[in-house]
Chain A
Amino acid sequence: MPEVTLVEAINLALARAMEEDANVVVLGEDVGVNGGVFRATVGLQQRFGAERVIDTPLAELLISGLCVGMAAQGLKPVGEIQFMGFIYPCIDQLVNHASRLRNRTQGRLSCPMVLRTPHGGGIRAPEHHSESTEAMLAHIPGLRVVMPSSPERAYGLLLAAIRDPDPVVFLEPTRIYRASKGQVEDNGEALPLDVAFVLRQGRDVTLISWGAAVKETLAAADELAAEGIDAEVIDLATLKPYDEETVLASVTRTGRCVIVHEAARTGGFGAEIAALLAERGLTSLLAPIARVTGYDTIMPLPRLEQRYIPSVARIVAATRKVCQFS
C-alpha cells in the first residue's frame, strides 16, 4: 500500500467518487486548472473534464448555493471553500437551505452535497485563514460536520460524505495536510460517518479530540505513558451528529476526561461533550472534566499562533492534573 499525505488522500477519494458516479461534480475557486490552492483537486479536471470540475467565479455564496441547486437535481456536488475564513457567506445557504431542504419539502427534495474547506491554523497563513469555527456549523440541525485527522480517515470519510444522501461540511485540517502520512488503499471503501474512532486504548483517562489537534493529543498520550498514565484517545471525526455512545462508554470506564480542540473555548464543541458527560456520565467521573482549547481571543497572526494552538505540553499538564485529582 502506498503511503500518502492527508491532502493526497482527499484527492484520491475525490477521483474515486468521480470515477464511480457520474453525478459527482467538483466546484470551487481554482479547483480546475490549478488543482486547488492546496492541490486537493489536482489532476481532476484533466481526467474528468471542465464540465465536472468547475473553476467558479470568486463567490463563496454562489458555490454553496450552486451546490444546493445541483444537489436538488440529483447531482452530488462537492464544493470547495478555499479557507474556512471565507465560508461565512455560505452560512445563509447552509442554515436556510442545505440543512433543511429535505425537511421543508418533507422528503420531496434533498440536498446530497459536500462543502469541503481547510480548517484551523498552524501554517503561518495570513489573517482570516486560520480560524476553527466548527462548533458554529455543528449547531445547525440537518447538517453533518465531519473532520478527519489522518489520510485513512480523510479518504474513507470523504467517500462516505459524498455518498451520503444529506449535506456534509467536510473540514480538512490544514496543519496536517502534508504532515500526516499514512497508508491508504484506494479501494473505494468508505468509513462510517457519525462514528468516533478509538485511536489508542487506555485505562486511566479519556482524551477526546478532532482534526489536527489529534496529532498533539496522540503525542501527549505517548508522553503520559512514559509517566505511567495510560490514556485512551478518541478522534470524534463526526461532530454532527456525534457518537455519544463511544464517548460515554470510554469515560464510564476511565472516569476521567480531557477534551482537546483548537477552537476557542466558550461555546466550543468541547462544551457539548462536557455537558453530555455531566448529564449522562456524572456518576462515573472521578475528576472534573478538563478542556484544552484555543483561547477566547481572536486567532492571532502567525507570530503567536503556536501559543494559541493547544500544545502537547498543555495537554500533558491538563491530563496530569485530571489524573492526580482524587
Chain B
Amino acid sequence: MADEELPVIARFEVRRRSYLAPDGTVLRPLPNFASDSDILISLYRGMVLTRAFDLKAVSLQRTGRLGTYAVSLGQEAVSVGIASAMREEDVVLPSYRDNGTLLWRGTKMEEILLFWGGDERGNLSSGPADDFPYCIPVASQAPHAAGVAYAFKLRKEPRVAVCLFGDGATSKGDVWEAMNFAGVHKLPVVFVANNNQWAISVPLQLQTASQTLAQKAIAAGFSGEQVDGNDVVAVRAAAEDAIAQARAGGGPRLIEAVTYRLSDHTTADDAARYRPPEEVQTRWKEEPIARLRAYLVSQKAWGKSQEEELAADCQKQIEAAIERYLATAPRAPQTMFDHLYAELPRAYASQRAELSGGSDA
C-alpha cells in the first residue's frame, strides 16, 4: 500500500559517463588527460597488446601448451583504463580476467602464461609487490580489498585499493559485505564491476533485477557510477575521479563498467551453446579498440604505419615472452612444500623428503 502523502525520505540517482561514441565521435567535452595524445596512444597500445596477448594465449591453449585461460576480448578498456588511473603504490585486486590490468602494472607476459600454464611462480609477478594475484573464486577478493584499504587508512598512507570483479560477483554476499564495511569506515577503495553481460551462460537479467549494478553502492552509503566500459576515456576518467576521491579521504566508490564479453567465458567454454552469434556480431560494433583508433585517426594522432608498427611490436614481445615461458623448467616437486608455511613444520619433513627422492634436501 503506497500512500502518496507519506514523505519521501531518500532519493538517489545514478549517472552514466561516456565520451566517445562507438564510431569514435565525441559525445561531450573530453576530460583533461585526453588532450594529451601520448596518454591516449598509451591506452591504445595497452589495449592492443592485451588483445594480441589474449589471442595468442588461446592459440597456446588450443595447441596444448597452456591450461584453461580466461580471455578479455572486448573488455580491454576496463582493465587498461582502470589500471592507467592507478599509482604504483596503490594495490589492485584483480579477477581472473583482468589480464590488461596486470600487464599495465608490470606483470610480465611470461608470468601470466606461467600461472595459467600451471606454475605458481607466475604469481611472483614483476608488478607491484603488494598487488594481489588473480582471484579465481568469484567475488572473494572483495573483502580483501576492504582489508587492504583499512590498513592504508590505519597507517594514514595515501594509497588506494582497487578491486575488479564481474557482474556475476555482484550477486554474492562477499561484494555486499565488503562494500558495506568500506562505506561504514569511508575506506580508500574503489570497486569496479566489469559488467560484461554474461556470467558464463547466465545473462544479466537472470543475475539481478537491479536497473544498474552501480546503484548497489547506494545501500552501502556511497555513490556508484555507470560508465561506458567500451570507452577507455570514460573508464579512465571515472577511475581517476574515484581514486582521487578515495585517496583524499572521501571514501569508496563503485564503478560499473558496461561492456561485453566477445569471447567464450574461458577456453573451456563454448558460448555458442547459450547465446546467439547475432548478438555477438552486433556487440562487435561497440568494441573499445576500434573506437579509440577511430578517434585517434580523426585527430591525426594515429595512422596506418603506426598501426603496423604496433602490431609487429606486440607480436615480437609476445613471441619472446612465449619462448621464455616454454623454456621455464617445472619446479622441483619438493618445492610444493617451500611456501606452505614460513618455515616447514617438522611434521611435514618426511613428506617433503619423499618427494625429493628420499633425501631431506
Contact = CB atoms under 8 A, between A and B. Distances in A.
Interface string A59-76: 101101111111111110
Contact of A69 (B148, B184, B347): B148
Given A57-B180, A106-B121, A194-B346, A70 B143 contact: no
A25 B143 contact: no
Contacts of A71: 147
Nearest to B337: A103
Nearest to B343: A165
Contact of A68 (B129, B130, B143, B341): B143
A164 to B, nearest CB: 8
A89 B148 CA distance: 20
Contact of A241 (B121, B184, B348): B348
A51 B150 CA distance: 9
Nearest to A70: B147
Contacts of B147: 65-73, 77
B137 A62 contact: no
A245 B123 contact: no
Contacts of A103: 120, 336, 339-340
Interface in A148-171: 164-166
Nearest to B346: A194
Contacts of B124: 105-106, 108
A141 B161 CA distance: 28
B145 interface: yes
Interface residues of A, number: 47
B106 to A, nearest CB: 13
Contacts of B151: 69-70, 73-75
B333 to A, nearest CB: 14
Interface residues on B, range: 35 or more
B342 A105 contact: no
A177 to B, nearest CB: 28
A142 interface: yes
Interface stretch (B171-179, B197-205, B260-268): B171-179
A242 B180 CA distance: 38
A56 interface: yes
Interface in B119-143: 120-121, 123-125, 129-130, 132-133, 136-137, 140, 142-143
Nearest to A244: B347
Nearest to A73: B151
Given A61-B143, A72-B130, A104 B342 contact: no
Contacts of A301: none
Interface in A42-68: 51-52, 56-57, 59, 61-62, 64-68
Contact of B132 (A62, A72, A243): A72
B130 A66 contact: no
B144 interface: yes
A61 B130 contact: no
A64 B143 CA distance: 8
B357 interface: no
Contact of A59 (B91, B137, B161, B180): B180
Contact of B181 (A57, A74, A104, A109): A57
Interface string B67-99: 000000000000000000000000100000000
B146 interface: yes
B154 interface: yes
A215 interface: no
B330 interface: no
Interface stretch (A90-98, A181-189, A219-227): A90-98
A93 to B, nearest CB: 7
Most chain B CB inside 10 Å of its own CB: which residue of A74, A77, A108, A141: A108
Nearest to B134: A104
Given A108-B123, A241-B347, A65 B137 contact: no
Contacts of B174: 61, 65
Interface in B248-305: none
B7 interface: no
B64 interface: no
Given A96-B137, A108-B129, A141-B340, A70 B148 contact: yes
A62 B178 contact: yes
Contact of B133 (A66, A104, A107): A104
30 contacts: A52-B154, A59-B181, A61-B143, A61-B173, A62-B143, A62-B177, A62-B178, A62-B180, A65-B147, A65-B177, A67-B147, A69-B146, A69-B148, A69-B149, A72-B148, A73-B130, A77-B147, A92-B137, A97-B137, A97-B140, A102-B342, A103-B336, A106-B124, A108-B129, A109-B132, A141-B340, A165-B341, A166-B341, A194-B346, A241-B345
Interface of B: 91, 120-121, 123-125, 129-130, 132-133, 136-137, 140, 142-152, 154, 161, 173-174, 177-178, 180-181, 184, 336, 338-342, 345-348
What are the 9 closest A-B residue pairs judged by CB atoms, nearest first? A69-B147, A65-B143, A69-B144, A73-B151, A62-B177, A241-B347, A66-B147, A241-B345, A165-B342
Interface of A: 25, 51-52, 56-57, 59, 61-62, 64-75, 77, 89, 92-93, 96-97, 102-110, 141-142, 144, 164-166, 194, 241-245
Given A62-B181, A93-B143, 20 more contacts: A57-B180, A62-B146, A62-B180, A65-B140, A66-B144, A68-B143, A69-B146, A69-B161, A71-B147, A96-B136, A97-B144, A102-B339, A104-B133, A105-B125, A105-B133, A106-B120, A106-B338, A165-B341, A242-B347, A245-B346
